[in-house]
Amino acid sequence: MGRHGGQRATAEDLAACLSAHGVALRPGDILLVRTGWLAAFRAAPDADARHLLIQGEAGARDYSGLDGNEGMWRFLWDQGIAAVAADNPTVEAWPIFPWKPALHLAIARLGLCLGEFFDFEALAEDSATAGRFTAFFTAAPLNHSGGIGSPGNALAIR
């Protein structure tokens, strides 16, 4: 997505990307979306640059991501997507617009799960090298005795 704010990936963009990589979605799939936001955050030269990526210009919180419009809802529903995980702060582009569809509303209305701040850099590199853009995606709890919670600890297995 080049720039790291305000760009919206449409359902058509997703379909074209999936087609270009030879990926056919199946009901129950988890869609992983790499926007480049996390890589840009890590590459930022200092705290001010990282803060700008988090807060945006003048605190506007301007993030690139999926378009949360009705077309995206329809695409995700028609494809049977169970969850969408992305490497950015909000999965969908931000800001959202009042009185318009937004993916956070799809959590309750479509039963969609959203995951944010996923690190896809090593997976993207491996996928490009292997020429394969699908994997079994799961999560395992941290191996810690007596713990009562764990971060997602996602795993992509080929």
pLDDT-based confidence at residue 58 (cuts at 50, 70, 90): low
Give the residue extent of every domain in the chain. Answer: 8-140+149-157
pLDDT for 148 equals 72
The pLDDT of residue 152 is above 50: yes
pLDDT-based confidence at residue 56 (cuts at 50, 70, 90): low
| CA–CA distance, 83 with 116 (Å, rounded to integer) | 11
pLDDT-based confidence at residue 5 (cuts at 50, 70, 90): low
pLDDT tens, residue by residue, 60-115? 677 788 999 999 999 999 999 999 999 988 899 888 888 888 888 889 899 999 99
Mean pLDDT of the chain: 87
pLDDT for 4 equals 53
| CA–CA distance, 84 with 114 (Å, rounded to integer) | 5
pLDDT for 93 equals 87
| CA–CA distance, 7 with 67 (Å, rounded to integer) | 9
**What average pLDDT score do residues 19-28 get?**
95
The pLDDT of residue 57 is above 60: yes
pLDDT tens, residue by residue, 118-150? 999 999 999 999 999 999 998 877 777 877 777
pLDDT for 2 equals 39
Give the whole-number percent of the chain exceeding pLDDT 90. 49
pLDDT for 1 equals 36
